[in-house]
Amino acid sequence: MQHRIIVLGAGYTGAIAAGRLAKRLHRDDVAITLVNPEPDFVERVRMHQLAVGQDLKPRPFTEMFAGTGVQLRLARVTGVDVERKTVAVTDANGADELAYDTLVYALGSGWNAQGVPGTAEHAYEVAGRPGALRLRERLARLDAGQTVLVVGGGLTGLEAATEIAEARPDLSVALAARGGLGDWLSPKGREHLGKVFGKLGITAYEHAAVTAVAADHVATADGRAIPAAVTVWTTGFAVHPIAQATALEVTGTGQIVVDGTMRSVSHPDVYAVGDAAMALGAGDKPLRMSCASGTPMAWQAADAIAARLTGGKLPDAHLRYFNQCISLGRKEGLIQYVTADDRAVSAVLTGRLAAAYKEMICKGAAWGVANPMLGLPTRRHRVAKDRAAAGSVAGVTA
């Protein structure tokens, strides 16, 4: 019998995990099924580009996984039963149920309204393709001089504000941040960010905690009313809610608690990667929701699954950060170098060279989905045929 591996979600982490497993394990021994509602890969790190009217390169999974043995199941996940080891899905033919021996949970996250009144009714988002396309259509209808307000001063907010301002210099673009503009960056990083905002004409509202969103403005905690013909909400991400409805051990925000090999601490047949997982990095600090975190998590999970199935050595890589890559439009960028636990150091890279660096990172991330071994040996390893032996391998802990 083939060992059934089901991967839920084909974002960066799910697609990388599926492809890496296919390269690690012999297809006669395992059946790898990748469940995703869409037939092509979405470059989430480019959604701000899509929102301003840029067209992105199509990346169909049929081409990306050609010859790997990975089977794509176009369906939406509606539930997971970790006791029965089944996944409930819905596709064009209706409801169905898939059984697994090993599950990789990579359903990711969406935008987080943070419970702020009016956000769901009036705000736009760039956390996924539907939201980015909706914003794209709205921006195209704006007249010159109208105001676009980006709420949220993190990486997504900075990239969205600068991309919109560069693509539509006829608009009045502003950003509202709960703290200071780029206050987590080094002094050099903050200085460069301020220069780019000035050059693009972006107004920065600092220490402006938004408490309500209306059709033509937002309200802040200190009593300000900031005008906005369009409000773009970028205040963080909320994980897919399915895990919280299972028997898996999760955090208060619904992330699956995993060990150093991305294995669920409560259900050893389940692995979680990307935004869906609560994993610890350097200094035992939780990894932030990002592609920078998700990619090594996917490598770690795939290598651990392969090792446990074949009796190989478990991976012991320590997940750490090196830099934060921020695009500031197509012509400007900021690379903030950081410590292993993601704290800014003095060194930065700025300007066109930083923009080119960030573009290389984005292209590399998409390339890594289709080429998940990154130059490592691709010889497939056989799964132990003795089921008792296989069971003892599956019991190994990190």
Answer yes or no: is 350 within a domain: no
48 plus 106 within the same structural domain: yes
Residue that finishes a domain, picked among 211, 233, 255 = 233
Question: pTM for the whole thing?
Answer: 0.91
Domain harbouring 129, CATH code: 3.50.50.60
pLDDT tens per residue across span 98-108: 999 999 999 99
| Number of domains observed in the structure of the chain | 2
Long-range contacts of 202-205 (CB under 8 A, 24+ apart): 202/161, 202/162, 202/165, 202/173, 202/174, 202/175, 203/172, 203/173, 203/174, 203/175, 204/174, 204/175, 204/177, 205/174, 205/175, 205/176, 205/177
117 plus 253 within the same structural domain: no
259 plus 389 within the same structural domain: yes
Answer yes or no: is 338 within a domain: no
3-state secondary structure of 306: helix
129 plus 157 within the same structural domain: yes
Answer yes or no: is 137 within a domain: yes
- Whether 289 has a pLDDT exceeding 60, the answer reads yes
Helix, strand, coil proportions of the chain in percent (round to 5)?
Answer: 30, 30, 40
Residue that finishes a domain, picked among 188, 210, 233 = 233
pLDDT-derived band at 318 (thresholds 50, 70, 90) equals confident
The H or E element that residue 255 is part of is none
Answer yes or no: is 334 within a domain: no
- Whether 386 has a pLDDT exceeding 60, the answer reads no
Answer yes or no: is 82 within a domain: yes
91 plus 13 within the same structural domain: yes
27 plus 45 within the same structural domain: yes
268 plus 386 within the same structural domain: yes
Answer yes or no: is 218 within a domain: yes
Answer yes or no: is 244 within a domain: yes
pLDDT tens per residue across span 85-97: 999 999 999 999 9
24 plus 170 within the same structural domain: no
Residue that the structure tokens 């999760």 belong to: 250
149 plus 188 within the same structural domain: yes
50 plus 102 within the same structural domain: yes
Answer yes or no: is 330 within a domain: no
pLDDT-derived band at 351 (thresholds 50, 70, 90) equals very high
Mean of the per-residue pLDDT values for the chain?
A: 92
168 plus 300 within the same structural domain: no
The predicted structure's pLDDT at residue 383: 74
The range of the structural domain enclosing residue 172 comes to 113-233
Q: Which residue has the higher pLDDT, 391 or 143?
A: 143
Residue that finishes a domain, picked among 191, 218, 233 = 233
53 plus 197 within the same structural domain: no
